[in-house]
Amino acid sequence: MKAYAVRKEGRFSVECQFYCFTEDQLINGKVRDLSPTGWRVTLDRPLPVGVEQTVFITLRDESGYYHALIESAMVRWADGFETGWEITRIDELDSTRLIEFLEHRERKHAVPDILHKYNCLPDESGNRGPALQPSDYSVLH
């Protein structure tokens, strides 16, 4: 059974490529959710709690790809091929890019959520709810 701790930051659902090198092997994985302080990843092989490694994560958005180098991250929990990592050391540039990537994702997903809340997007039948009123626009800022 894995131990749980309260996370400092919320995580965002993503699909990013993950790489780390142990002494004798390359570990590949898919990051499933990400925050400025850590992530959950599905690996191609299990790793134990306490492993600390340099990690590369490929961040992808509309403008292209960015390979973030996390100087040091530690496995905080493990459940088979699933592991939770915490960033223990990252340079300022990579940290800034990671935060900007997450902020962009948050903004991108906020508008559709608001539009669904106010029934502005069509449902499965193609029906739309009432139009936004001028007083509703304040929630979009």
pLDDT at position 123: 56
**Domains, the chain, ordered by start:** 12-117 (2.40.10.220)
Give tens-digit pLDDT for 50-88.
999 999 999 887 777 888 999 999 999 999 999 999 999
Secondary structure element (H or E) that encloses residue 83, with its range: strand 82-89
Sequence-separated contacts (24+) of 109-114 with Cβ below 8 Å: 111/140, 114/139, 114/140
CA distance 94 to 131: 42
**Which pTM was predicted?**
0.68
Mean pLDDT on 11-29: 87
